[in-house]
């Protein structure tokens, strides 16, 4: 009797367990996917968020671009019970007009975003408000917003990140998009009974991001932009730029462009170009030192002889090419110092056309440096007709980007080596703290020691007594060359006498070059009616203001007159 009762109870218990096991088998194995989906809908929420990217620093560790944590608020309007109260409470909290919020709450859309990019510190208060109002259809999503604390400083160089995709769209943000990480990702969040996110269950597409330290010095960048702003105000050009590069490493120290934009409000600007990289222009007389370098290497020039530079023009293949002055007789160095077109053409016509074009290509012209996204390569047509050689020697029928000009002039400054331009000082792994420093990339030796020595002497004279004398500094030695290129005017189907590109390219201090500088303007306007527009009158004067300010920032002692100025105080002596 006893035994049978125990068996009955035991069988009942066993049977109950069996039912539970069968039921569990049904839930866990047979209908697993269905119930997983069911639970996910009830307790989990998949949220698409903009992921934070790596931070961009300048060379002094000042932040140029940072991802700031934010929150976005959205609602499902049809389920909001008391729209007026929600609008009123949210309006005071997120500081948005009551009417705007209310109108959004009355829209017939299924899903409405009330605010994006709010300060994350508001999240707690928003959650409390939602709890108080018992409006569970107000959604709060954590996100991030790219912020550029220095505003438009170096804007066109840094570029920007899309507000919706979180991906780099322009400039260095685009170039180093993979390294900086970011983009959008999905987070599977488990909610508690009140609908508040409880724990992160799964993270998808969350790429590792790196911080990037640039070679740009925001203080120099500011000085350069300040000088450029003044220049633009005075000359009202269509486009202008000042580029500062370290000729010994190829590091880009500052790059100020006009037009520029504030990446915080990139969507308000139509033009996001960085003309230093995206556009190519005719370099004008900036090409002449390279013609001379080739002539030196081909031994087709004598510095003791005077060359007849005509009566202000030269005719090649029946085409008359004008000079800006009647120079008559000039020595080879004077041809560069006073920038004689006829003299440069006379030299160029003696050169082997193949070697001449090879020289231009070897200096980096005609191909992109691949430093910036969407970079132009410039155009050189290898046309060996004398008239084409003549025009090429005065920089008139070929184009170069300002960065190519800067690197070619850096080669003169650093002893003849063409370097690859560089923006990156360090790439920092945020997790491990590992630092990667890119090495200096030497493309090749492109100028002989002899030609470098001669060009360095001549380019110093250009600034002291030649076409760039308006840019001469009282305290520092500068070497460089001015350039003026006539623009093609489609209206008259010829080169315009009114529209020019004006250039200055050079380096300072001339004795121990620390910076290469390129100053460019597209169609600068005359200040006085009779004024001659050219690199010497327009671009060179900018140099004077720039050099003293930059060198003072580095607390550099003047190198002119043996540093004499630095130790004297004229106001006291």
Q: Which of 190, 205, 232 has the alpha carbon at shortest distance from 51?
A: 205
Question: Which residues ranging from 64 to 103 are in contact with other proteins (CB under 8 A)?
Answer: 64, 66-69
The answer to whether residue 2 forms part of the interface with other proteins (CB under 8 A) is: yes
- Spatial distance between the Cα atoms of 434 and 439, rounded to a whole number of angstroms: 16
Smaller CB distance to other proteins: residue 119 or 531?
Answer: 119
Q: Tokens 């004598």: give the residue.
A: 302
Q: Are strands 210-214 and 44-50 parallel, antiparallel or unpaired?
A: unpaired
At closest approach, how far in Å is the CB of 558 from other proteins? Answer: 6
Q: Which two tokens stand for residue 106?
A: 């009355």
The single residue among 4, 5, 41, 432 that binds other proteins, judged by CB under 8 A, is 5
Within 8 A by CB and 6+ apart from 63, the residues are 55, 56, 57, 149
Q: Is 63 in the site for other proteins (CB under 8 A)?
A: yes
When binding is defined by CB under 8 A, the residue of 74, 117, 195, 226 that contacts other proteins is 226
Interaction of residue 42 with other proteins, rule CB under 8 A:
no
Q: Per rule CB under 8 A, is residue 262 in the interface with other proteins?
A: no
Instruction: For helices 402-413 and 449-464, give the axis angle rounded to 10 degrees.
Output: 110
Task: Indicate whether 3 belongs to the interface with other proteins (CB under 8 A).
Answer: yes
Task: Point out which residues pair with 147 in neighbouring strands.
Answer: 66
Choose which of 31, 84, 119, 204 interacts with other proteins (CB under 8 A).
119
Is 444 a binder of other proteins (CB under 8 A)?
A: no
| Encoded tokens for 276 | 């230093």
Q: What is the spatial distance between Cα 266 and Cα 148, in angstroms, rounded to a whole number?
A: 11
The interface region with other proteins, picked from 173-181, 194-202, 423-431, 495-503 by CB under 8 A, is 194-202
Q: Smallest gap, in angstroms, from Cβ of residue 111 to other proteins?
A: 26
Among 105, 153, 296, 424, binds other proteins (CB under 8 A): 153
Q: What is the Cα–Cα distance from 359 to 342, expressed in whole angstroms?
A: 21
> Measured between alpha carbons, how far is 223 from 543 in angstroms, rounded to an integer?
12
Q: Distance (Å, rounded) from C-alpha 151 to C-alpha 163?
A: 16
Q: Of 277 and 476, which CB lies nearer to other proteins in the complex structure?
A: 476
> Positive or negative CA dihedral for 461, 463, 464, 468?
positive
CB of 331 to other proteins, least distance (A): 33
Length of the chain, please?
573
Rule CB under 8 A: is residue 512 a binding residue for other proteins?
no
- Helix segments in 363-448, DSSP class H: 386-393, 402-413
Considering only 92-100, 360-368, 454-462, 544-552, which stretch makes contact with other proteins by CB under 8 A?
544-552
Is residue 567 close enough to count as binding other proteins by CB under 8 A?
yes
* Other beta carbons less than 10 A from residue 13's beta carbon: 10
Tell me if residue 494 falls in helix, strand or coil. Answer: strand
x/- mask, other proteins, residues 123-152, rule CB under 8 A, reads: ------------------------x-xxx-
Give the residue, chosen from 39, 131, 557, 561, that forms a contact with other proteins under the rule CB under 8 A.
557
Tokens, residue 425: 């000082």
Count residues binding other proteins (CB under 8 A).
45
Are the C-beta atoms of residues 482 and 504 closer than 8 Å to each other?
yes
CB of 155 to other proteins, least distance (A): 12
* 549 in contact with other proteins (CB under 8 A): yes
Binding site for other proteins (CB under 8 A): 1-3, 5-6, 55, 62-64, 66-69, 119-121, 147, 149-151, 153, 198-200, 218-219, 221-223, 226, 474-475, 548-549, 552, 557-558, 563, 565-571
């Amino acid at each position: 009797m006893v035994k049978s009762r125990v068996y009955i109870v035991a069988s009942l218990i066993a049977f109950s367990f069996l039912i539970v096991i069968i039921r569990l088998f049904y839930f866990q194995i047979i209908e697993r996917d269905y119930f997983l989906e069911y639970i996910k809908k009830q307790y989990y929420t998949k949220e698409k968020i903009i992921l934070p990217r790596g931070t961009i620093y300048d060379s002094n560790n000042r932040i140029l671009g940072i991802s700031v944590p934010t929150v976005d608020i959205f609602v499902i309007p049809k389920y909001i019970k008391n729209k007026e109260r929600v609008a009123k409470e949210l309006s005071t909290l997120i500081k948005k007009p009551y009417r705007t919020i209310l109108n959004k709450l009355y829209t017939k859309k299924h899903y409405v975003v009330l605010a994006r990019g709010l300060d994350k510190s508001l999240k707690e208060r928003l959650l409390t408000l939602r709890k108080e109002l018992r409006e569970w259809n107000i959604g709060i999503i954590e996100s991030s917003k790219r912020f550029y604390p220095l505003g438009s400083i170096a804007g066109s160089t840094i570029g920007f990140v899309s507000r919706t995709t979180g991906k780099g769209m322009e400039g260095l943000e685009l170039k180093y998009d993979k390294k900086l990480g970011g983009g959008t990702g999905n987070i599977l969040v488990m909610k508690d009974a009140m609908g508040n996110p409880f724990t992160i269950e799964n993270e998808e597409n969350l790429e590792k991001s790196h911080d990037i330290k640039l070679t740009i010095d925001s203080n120099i960048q500011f000085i350069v932009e300040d000088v450029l702003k003044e220049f633009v105000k005075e000359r009202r050009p269509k486009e202008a730029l000042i580029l500062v590069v370290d000729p010994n490493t190829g590091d880009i120290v500052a790059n100020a462009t006009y037009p520029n934009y504030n990446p915080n409000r990139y969507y308000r600007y139509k033009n996001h170009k960085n003309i230093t990289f995206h556009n190519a222009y005719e370099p004008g007389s900036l090409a002449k030192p390279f013609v001379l370098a080739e002539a030196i290497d081909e031994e087709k020039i004598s510095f003791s002889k005077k060359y007849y530079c005509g009566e202000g023009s030269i005719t090649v293949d029946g085409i008359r090419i004008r000079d800006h002055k009647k120079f008559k007789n000039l020595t080879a160095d004077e041809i560069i110092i006073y920038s004689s077109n006829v003299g440069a053409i006379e030299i160029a016509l003696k050169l082997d056309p193949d070697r001449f074009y090879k020289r231009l290509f070897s200096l980096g012209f005609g191909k992109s440096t691949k430093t910036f996204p969407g970079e132009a390569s410039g155009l050189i047509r290898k046309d060996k007709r004398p008239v084409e050689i003549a025009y090429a020697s005065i920089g008139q029928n070929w184009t170069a980007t300002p960065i190519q000009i800067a690197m070619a002039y850096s080669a003169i400054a650093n002893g003849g080596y063409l370097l690859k331009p560089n923006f990156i000082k360090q790439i920092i792994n945020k997790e491990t703290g590992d630092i990667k420093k890119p090495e200096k990339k030497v493309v090749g030796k492109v100028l002989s020691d002899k030609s470098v020595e001669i060009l360095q002497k001549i380019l110093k004279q250009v600034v002291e007594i030649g076409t760039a004398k308006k840019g001469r500094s009282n305290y520092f030695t500068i070497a460089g060359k001015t350039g003026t290129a006539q623009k093609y005017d489609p209206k008259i189907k010829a080169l315009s006498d009114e529209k020019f590109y004006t250039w200055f390219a050079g380096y300072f201090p001339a004795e121990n070059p620390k910076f290469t500088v390129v100053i460019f303007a597209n169609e600068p306007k005359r200040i006085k009616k009779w004024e001659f527009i050219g690199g010497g009158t327009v671009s060179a004067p900018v140099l004077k203001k720039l050099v003293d300010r930059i060198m003072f920032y580095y607390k550099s002692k003047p190198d002119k007159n043996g540093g004499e100025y630095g130790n004297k105080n004229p106001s006291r002596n």
